[in-house]
Amino acid sequence: MKLYQMSAIAASGWLYLGLTAGAMAAEPVCGLNNAEKASGEPILVGGINGNAPPGDFSGGTDAAAAYFACVNDNGGINGRPIEYLVENDQWNPELASQVATKLVKDHGVVALVGNGSVVSMAVNARLYVEENVMVMASACAISDCYENSNIVSTNQGPLPSGIGAMKYAIEELGTEHVACIGFNIPNNGGWACDWVAKYMESKGKKSSALLMDPASVDLNSVYLQALAEGVDSILLMLPAGPALGILQVAEEQDGRDTFKWISPTPLYDPSIPGTLGDYWDGHVFVNIELAPFDSSGNDNGNWVAVMDLYGQKGDRRDTFSQSGFLSAKFFVETLLTMDPDKIKRDSVTAAIKGISGLKSDLLCGPYYVGDFDRHMPNHAGRMVVYKGGRFEVVRACYDIESSYLDAIRQQERALNLID
């Protein structure tokens, strides 16, 4: 892609956001909201993102940083400011291990918030349990993130979002055979596509997993593979960049009508409409894990306001950003219920595990943590279609059916969140 095209896309993304923000311009509401700067002893909180090719998952920590800055300007945690330490694991397992150890052991953070990474959760899952530190993540994409007692993510991840997209595709688009295109990482693309295959089988449909090397993404060959498989739909189980790349390959081959195009949430990004253009109008369906960017709920409006006032110029404003904002908000609300002098790691971990039944217009269901061996509070989403240069909701909140959620539903019953 030419530089001027990318600039135009970025500009249109900002314009879109500007219009969105303009529609809901408001003062941010953060923490105690008393307009007094916090000046007590800082509370150390960590965050790890993975920002390097082939994907940028920094939206969660960006938004959490903005929200914490806003909280610090509004009384902090009963007078104590939050010092937020963010590290980038660069998709490198060794570095992921080092930065997590640095935050958890050397800095002694009370919790990690806004995390988003493909490698960090797998490498550090054991560390978090051993050190009894909770991670309120925001951009999880691997199984380890959802199968650990000390990690809870506000985003759904590829499994529910991918199955959610497939549910819509089967019911509304008539999908019979889907190609699930993902990264060849067993606990990421392999895991998610495997569960999509089980879901498709349960519905009497077919699926084929096309997993590619994240280190050398060959989009043309994977597109040709999909053609050779004879599928009628393509599920883009990928970060936004590679997913967009496959759509561009398809456009060059004029392959729009050869398949139905569906995707989990990463493709729901403000810069995408400017990139897709008229060719894809009405043909790209995306399952979104949180509320639409232009929705009118209080939390969504507050996310926009916080990012406008406290966000940095280069911050991403995608679903993971919303998710990071929400993780940070729930974290702050939890800390505000505690005695500020007794905010230590163990007490914070216990308080986070005590979270149950929190609500937000950004989510379709209640948010909870609980003292369980796994967590996936967010598994219901919405479906949007790219139309008229923007994303349009085509199905409101709906949940998925998958045996993967059996343990999760038991948790929800135990917490009296469902019957």
Partner 1 sequence: MALRISFHRRFVTATVFFLFCVFVLPAIAGAIWLKVFTSAVIFALAARGASLVYAQLGLVNLAQIALVGVGGWVMLRLNYATTLPFELSLLASAAITAIVGMLLSLPAMRMRGLYLALVTLMAAGAFQILFTAFQFPNGGSGFLGVAMQSPGEMRRPFLARSDAAYLSYCVAVTALCMVLVFLHERGKAGRGWALIRQSEANAMAAGVDVTLFKVWAFTLSGFLAGTAGALLAGALRLLDSKSFPAGESILLFALAIVGGAGHWAGAVIAGILYRVVPAVLNDFGLDADLALILFGAALLHAIITAPQGIAGQILSASAFRRSAT
Residue 87 Cβ vs partner 1, minimum distance, rounded to whole Å: 8
- Long-range CB contacts for residues 413-416, cutoff 8 Å, separation at least 24: 414/370, 415/356, 415/357, 415/368, 415/370
| Closest of 244, 234, 293, 294 to residue 266, by C-alpha | 244
Non-local CB neighbours of 254 within 8 Å, separated by 6+ positions: none
Give dist(CA 251, CA 314) in Å, integer.
29
Residue 144 Cβ vs partner 1, minimum distance, rounded to whole Å: 4
Q: What is the DSSP letter of 353?
A: H
**Residue with smaller CB distance to partner 1, 184 or 295:** 184
Give dist(CA 166, CA 192) in Å, integer.
12
**Residue with smaller CB distance to partner 1, 194 or 318:** 194
Q: Can you give the binding site for partner 1, defined by CB under 8 A? A: 90-95, 97-99, 101-102, 104-106, 119, 122-123, 125-126, 142-144, 147-148, 184-187, 190-191, 193-194, 213-215
Residue 372 Cβ vs partner 1, minimum distance, rounded to whole Å: 16
Tokens matching residue 356: 């149950």
SS3 for 240? helix
**Residue with smaller CB distance to partner 1, 87 or 299:** 87
From the CB of residue 140, how many other CB atoms can be counted at a distance below 10 Å? 30
Asked if 276 contacts 5 with a C-beta cutoff of 8 angstroms, the reply is: no
Tokens matching residue 177: 């055979």
Tokens matching residue 332: 């702050």
Residue 156 Cβ vs partner 1, minimum distance, rounded to whole Å: 17
Residue 86 Cβ vs partner 1, minimum distance, rounded to whole Å: 11
CA atoms within 13 A on the CB side of 247: 28
**Residue with smaller CB distance to partner 1, 22 or 93:** 93
**Residue with smaller CB distance to partner 1, 151 or 170:** 151
**Residue with smaller CB distance to partner 1, 93 or 354:** 93
Residue 325 Cβ vs partner 1, minimum distance, rounded to whole Å: 25
Residue 120 Cβ vs partner 1, minimum distance, rounded to whole Å: 12
Q: What is the DSSP letter of 177?
A: E
**Residue with smaller CB distance to partner 1, 326 or 405:** 405
- Name the pairing type of β-strands 206-212 and 233-237: unpaired
